[in-house]
Chain A
Amino acid sequence: MPEQLAFALEVTANGLMAGVLYALVALGFVLIYKASGIFNYAQGVMALFAALTLAGIMDGQVPFSHLINAIFGTDIHYFGWNVPAFMAILLTMVVMIALAYAVQRLVFRHLVGQEPIILFMATIGLAYFLEGVGDLMWGSDIKSMDVGLPQGINMWIDETTFETLGYGFFIDNLDIVASIVAALLVIGLVMFAQYTKQGRAMRAVADDHQAALSVGVSLNFIWILVWSLAGFVALVAGIMWGTKSGVQFSLSLIALKALPVLMLGGFTSIPGAIVGGLIIGVGEKLFEFLIGAPFLGGATENWFAYMLALIFLVFRPQGLFGEKIIERV
């Protein structure tokens, strides 16, 4: 097999893995958008916040230590213990649920029935607020995260591909784990939405707020539920990205990469977010490899996704899997 083709295959595989991470962020967007019509700009920051919190708890950092020290003239930074990963993840989830509750209680409950653009602006405010709080709570230094996920080249794939294709693929173990987790997450979410009472209520709320109210569904509860789920997805995304590239504030920018994924997959489809993520991931890597690097001087990864999204918007505005807008004529 020619070296070039094998290399292209490896690029594709890596693209798939990158796509999974995009998809994880996009998933959080879809959940909230579907149930409340809110386009949550803060989803990326939520992933950052979750990752910061997790890393902070694991290191035994004292939250708001800078603030506390400034006010009381003390000099405390660490509790001096390390929390095991599993416990820390649970604690972080509790924090994310509390966040969901606070967001609903303090912000969106007062904005029920407002224009979508107002809700969107509120989420932008929320994004920067959350970024500030994250900074204040855990400090702005880059943290490393290690929750015990396997990392580094997968030797088995490397050896197998070397034997069969004569070219060893470099695929990170972490990416494989991320893919499996993402797949499980999606299956779990779809099952929840399709087959449970609360999931059905969630979809009902997404369809028609008023009607959902009229049959006795509590919008408040469903929205807290949805924000908690989005918080959970953000936590998973935060763990994956954080492990891959360290917990730093640029993490919140991955939210912007989720936008083209959403346009491709459709704002309302959970499987769409995944497939959209994969297409963007593979697309940008392959495009860079086949056309970008040889002909366009490289760095096409920065804009390729948005171009693709633009083309999609023109020809299929609801995305690949977006819910068809049901119109009876």
Chain B
Amino acid sequence: MLDATAKPDAQVENLLEVNNIEVIYNSVILVLKGVSLNVPKGGITALLGGNGAGKTTTLKAISNLLHSERGEVTKGSIKYRNEAVHKSDPADMVKRGVVQVMEGRHCFEHLTIEENLLTGAYTRTDGKAATARDLEMVYEYFPRLRERRKSQAGYTSGGEQQMCAIGRALMSRPEMILLDEPSMGLAPQLVEQIFEIVKSVNEKEGVTFLLAEQNTNVALRFAHYGYILESGRVVMDGPAADLRENQDVKEFYLGMSDEGRKSFRDVRSYRRRKRWLS
């Protein structure tokens, strides 16, 4: 939907605005130290960075799943459609149209695939017919799920579970999906397939995506805009195409440099572009 070089500026409506949030777990562990980002409507925005950078925490702060893990947004604000939402709850967010697909799939193991999908429609009130229509839509995107609809989710493969998790999120008729680490533990071919589906859902259904991904290469190919997180801060952001060409990104996250591949040990420490005040 969006041009890969477009900046999320005033021309495109921002669906989500995260302003300088700080997140503390258990009242002591500071995880996010001021993260700001904007997600334009209709785009795919990638949140990149290594382990422990704060990607998952950012997503959970948005979906309000933090509370159940004793985490809390202590500073800053999160606005969805210009309404502050960081003090609401997950069910409310789903009703507003923001649903998270958690890292590690989290399907309901003992429920069948179809029951998993139907559970995704829990918050909807528009009747059985509409739900059935969307079930059909999910099966169109994921034909594999139709074949496995009667199987218990726990017995399906990792790829099928990932599809199930995304399909389940789609069943809530979301405006925006927070997709956490869809590539985790999947074969490269499957990763490609899943991202293709994400892309077509984005284009055909107009669903906005904010995806956290360690697989920088794939993410930057499919996303329109990217943010790079490092130990709880945004250190760089830009249109995906620019980030792909950026020397530092190439060196740190894509493992390429002018002198050929380098060991991570030899990589010079990164000049952080701090965005505390943004």
Contact = CB atoms under 8 A, between A and B. Distances in A.
12 contacts: A207-B109, A210-B106, A211-B108, A212-B108, A213-B91, A215-B94, A215-B172, A216-B99, A216-B122, A216-B172, A217-B122, A328-B154
Interface of B: 63, 65, 68-70, 89-91, 93-95, 99-102, 106-111, 115-116, 118-120, 122-123, 152, 154-155, 168-169, 172
Given A200-B119, A216-B95, A210 B108 contact: no
A328 B107 CA distance: 13
Contacts of A245: none
Contacts of A209: 68
Given A204-B119, A214-B100, A323-B110, 12 more contacts: A200-B119, A204-B116, A207-B108, A207-B109, A208-B107, A211-B102, A213-B90, A214-B101, A216-B95, A216-B123, A216-B172, A217-B91
Interface string A188-232: 000000000100110110111111111111110000000000000
The size class of the interface chain A forms with chain B is 20 to 34
B122 A197 contact: yes
B111 A200 contact: yes
Nearest to B168: A215
**Most-contacted residue by chain B among A197, A210, A214 (CB, 10 A):** A214
Contact of A207 (B70, B93, B110, B155): B110
A113 B172 contact: no
A299 interface: no
Contacts of A328: 154-155
A326 interface: yes
A179 B117 CA distance: 37
B97 to A, nearest CB: 11
Contacts of A210: 65, 68, 102, 106
Contacts of B123: 215-216
B90 A326 contact: no
A123 to B, nearest CB: 21
B70 A113 contact: yes
A88 B123 CA distance: 35
Contacts of B70: 113
B169 to A, nearest CB: 7
Interface of A: 112-113, 197, 200-201, 203-204, 206-219, 323, 326, 328
A200 B99 contact: no
Nearest to A194: B115
A39 B91 CA distance: 27
A328 B152 CA distance: 12
Nearest to A203: B111
Nearest to A326: B154
Nearest to B94: A216
B190 to A, nearest CB: 15
A208 B68 CA distance: 13
Nearest to B118: A200
Contacts of B172: 215-216
A204 B65 contact: no
Closest 3 CB pairs of A and B: A216-B94, A326-B154, A211-B106
A211 B168 CA distance: 10
Contacts of A326: 109-110, 152, 154-155
B89 to A, nearest CB: 8
B154 A203 contact: no
A216 B90 CA distance: 6
Contacts of B115: 200, 203
A211 B117 CA distance: 12
